[in-house]
Amino acid sequence: MSVAELLKAEILNGALPPGTWLSQTDLAVRFGVSRIPVRDALQQLASERLVALVPGKGAQVIELSRDELSQVFDLRVLLECDLLRHAMSSVTDAHYAEVKYSLQKSSLEAGRSGWIEGDWLFHLTLYAPAGRQRQITIIEELRRNCILYSAQYDRLVDETPKWLHDHEEITCAYIEKRVDDAVQLLRDHIEAAKNCLIDVQMPKQ
């Protein structure tokens, strides 16, 4: 794995939590490389909105305020619900098997280290028929912002049965072509994640 991939994995799994300062010198020693690949890695992560490059100070794992994280979830609701509606207007019967497979995979990986990938695979499979790649790319960036904080949420595993139940209900509505129901279920799913994460991680002062 490249330095960028290693750092990205540590950021997304919570080993490097939001607000952590990243020293090029320390990282170069740690990974046994020169500072050049470390600098390039940090620039790449900055382009993915995972790291902020602060002039005169260095690099810091992106840190969001309560209001900013709330806005991220609100944008996800708008974009993902719109994307689901577009997808369901274009989906073919053959695609339903892929949705069922992604549901099964996300269920098997729930609570494990790979749950993030399984969860995204499920959502991505739902949205794929829309063919709106630019919108999906934006959603991926927003989801990464959420993952930065969900990795620190110790009670996340306790919520797993609910998330899986949500996925099952969304899948059922998707396959039965109940567009409005599927969109509402997805909206509720994202809103529940927002309330659960923000209220615990960032309680109002």
Please check whether residues 38 and 106 belong to one and the same domain: no
Do residues 202 and 69 touch, judged by C-beta distance below 8 A?
yes
How many domains does the chain fold into? 2
Structure tokens at 96: 């339903």
Do residues 139 and 189 touch, judged by C-beta distance below 8 A?
no
Q: What is the pTM of this model?
A: 0.84
The rounded distance, in Å, linking the Cα atoms of 139 and 55 is: 28
The rounded distance, in Å, linking the Cα atoms of 109 and 188 is: 22
**CATH at residue 100:** 1.20.120.530
From 108, 18, 30, select the one nearest 68 (Cα to Cα): 18
The pLDDT assigned to 203 comes to 52
The rounded distance, in Å, linking the Cα atoms of 101 and 109 is: 12
Please check whether residues 47 and 76 belong to one and the same domain: no
Please check whether residues 196 and 122 belong to one and the same domain: yes
**CATH at residue 56:** 1.10.10.10
Sign of CA dihedral 54, 57, 198, 120: positive
The pLDDT assigned to 150 comes to 75
The pLDDT assigned to 148 comes to 83
The pLDDT assigned to 157 comes to 58
Please check whether residues 94 and 151 belong to one and the same domain: yes
| CA angle (104 as vertex; 6, 113 as ends), nearest 5 | 25
Do residues 10 and 16 touch, judged by C-beta distance below 8 A?
yes
The pLDDT assigned to 132 comes to 97
The rounded distance, in Å, linking the Cα atoms of 199 and 205 is: 11
Please check whether residues 125 and 33 belong to one and the same domain: no
The pLDDT assigned to 89 comes to 96
Question: One digit per residue, pLDDT tens: the chain, 205 residues?
Answer: 899 999 998 998 888 999 999 999 999 999 999 999 999 999 999 999 899 999 888 899 998 888 999 999 999 999 999 999 999 999 999 999 999 999 998 887 665 656 778 889 999 999 999 999 999 999 999 998 888 887 655 555 566 788 889 999 999 999 999 999 999 999 999 999 898 888 766 656 5
Please check whether residues 46 and 72 belong to one and the same domain: no
Domain, as residue range, for 110: 66-201
Please check whether residues 70 and 159 belong to one and the same domain: yes
Please check whether residues 143 and 197 belong to one and the same domain: yes
Please check whether residues 134 and 38 belong to one and the same domain: no
Please check whether residues 119 and 31 belong to one and the same domain: no
The pLDDT assigned to 140 comes to 93
From 168, 150, 170, select the one nearest 159 (Cα to Cα): 150
Please check whether residues 78 and 117 belong to one and the same domain: yes
